[in-house]
Amino acid sequence: MRIIPRRTLMTTFGAATLGLATAAATSGGAVAQGTLQRPTGRAILRVRGDIANTNDGDVAVFDRAMLAAIGSATITTSTPWYDTPVRFDGVPMAKLMEAVGARGQTLTAIALNDYSTDIPIADFSRFGVILATHRNGAEMPVSDRGPLFIVYPYDSDAELRNRLYYSRSAWSVAQLIVR
């Protein structure tokens, strides 16, 4: 896995911002630099903290379509929560952080039940962490760890198969805070 230096990441972030602004402009939304398009569907994620791009005051709010537009990745892995390997599809967390212009080093994920965990943002590019929106091809309901689940590729590295990384794998994620 390639680790991207912060300077390169910020340069890449500029291109990502332009792409999001262009997409919003062509969809009819008014766009100012540092602003994301507004969700048209039901909002499922709020990102706040040390971010540059927002669409609701100082918060970035996303619906499913906005998350899908950022990009997608798939992880098929064993987990302690399911009996057999599971296929997860979702947004690469590194790309999500680029889209919001994350400037911090740590992310606090907060679930619908108020569970929270701190995750080093460096994990996202180092391990290819995703914010899963689908499990085995279907949207995840709140009753089964949805609608959003932070997933590491546990089978890709023995280091990931321990309590530390499992505790960083928040499910029913509703909010992210960049610090």
pLDDT tens digits for range 41-59: 999 999 999 999 999 999 9
Residues in the chain: 179
Least confident of 26-40, 139-153, 162-176: 26-40
pLDDT at 162 over 60: yes
pLDDT of residue 53: 98
pLDDT at 27 over 90: no
pLDDT at 12 over 60: no
Total-model pTM: 0.81
pLDDT at 9 over 90: no
Segments of the chain assigned E as strands:
43-49, 60-63, 73-77, 86-92, 106-111, 116-120, 130-135, 138-139, 149-151, 173-178
pLDDT of residue 15: 36
Are 168 and 154 in contact by the 8 Å Cβ rule? The answer is no
Computed over every residue of the chain, the mean pLDDT equals 86
Q: Which residues are CB-contacts of 139 (< 8 A; sequence separation ≥ 6)?
A: 64, 133, 146, 147
Residue percentage of the chain with pLDDT more than 70: 82
CA distance 45 to 65: 12
pLDDT of residue 32: 39
pLDDT at 137 over 90: yes
Edge to edge, the sheet with strand 43-49 lists: 60-63, 43-49, 173-178, 106-111, 116-120
Angle at 155 between CA 95 and CA 47, to 5 degrees: 25
CATH numbers and ranges of domains, the chain? 6-178 (3.90.420.10)
Burial class of residue 65 (count of CB atoms within 10 Å of its CB; 0-12, 13-18, 19+)? exposed
CA distance 73 to 132: 9
pLDDT at 36 over 70: yes
**35 falls in which pLDDT band (50, 70, 90)?**
confident
**149 falls in which pLDDT band (50, 70, 90)?**
very high
Q: Per-residue pLDDT averaged across 24-45, rounded?
A: 67
The amino acid that residue 145 corresponds to is R
Report which of residues 28 and 171 the model is more confident about.
Answer: 171
